Amino acid sequence: MTTEPGNTSAPDRRHLRVAAACGVFVACMVGASFAAVPLYDMFCRVTGFGGATVVREQAPGNVLEREIIVRFDGTVAPGLNWDFQPVQRQMKVKVGETAIAFYRARNRGEDGWGTASYNVTPEVTGGYFAKIACFCFTEQRLKAGEELDMPVQFFIDPSIAEDATLNGVNTITLSYTFFAAKPPASVAGAAAAPKL
């Protein structure tokens, strides 16, 4: 049996539909893979999942008598010739109280850029550890031999007192890791622009 040009048989139409569905599925999966990282990051920041802290503009007005020791940790990933550590190893803060801690970075190599990521442990406290101001996820430039103190302003949300599973938590550790980074696009573009 032959089909006239322009006419397709039922099996051919099914094959075309299956091929189109597969193409749409592949396109959706590729799109989802590009959206997964920013969506997961946003989810972690909002919920505190995986030890990610939350970001707030200001601390609540109420300060509780409960005190928690906040420990600070700092590391540098391979590929970045910097020293990076907290200025103070720990501090005791009241729940709801605003506190500021400093980290110090020193470049032991050539001029370069770095950026820090963070988390808190125990991970279940991430949703209660709120940062008001932080140097994380911002490219930092240090010239050779330069040293820089970087503040992080934070508080522990008073709603932690309402979570009975966290009544025994007396210590939270805030950890940062610095990674090598490329200069921001505005800086890289300015450096590449011809000078007149």
Q: Is 49 helix (H, G, I), strand (E, B) or coil?
A: helix
On the question of pLDDT at 184 being above 60, the answer is yes
22 near 95, Cβ under 8 Å? no
- In 29-44, which positions are buried (b, 16+ CB within 10 angstroms) versus exposed (e)? eeeeeeeeeeeeeeeb
| Residue 103 exposure: Cα atoms within 13 Å on the Cβ side | 25
**pLDDT tens-place string over residues 57-96:** 667 789 999 999 999 999 999 999 999 999 999 999 999 9
pLDDT at 38: 52
Cα–Cα–Cα angle for 115, 132, 146, rounded to 5 degrees: 35
What pLDDT is attached to residue 193? 46
Q: How many CA within 13 A on the CB side of residue 77?
A: 14
> pLDDT tens-digit profile of 96-146?
999 999 999 999 999 999 999 999 999 999 999 999 999 987 899 999 999
What is the share, in percent, of the chain residues with pLDDT greater than 90? 57
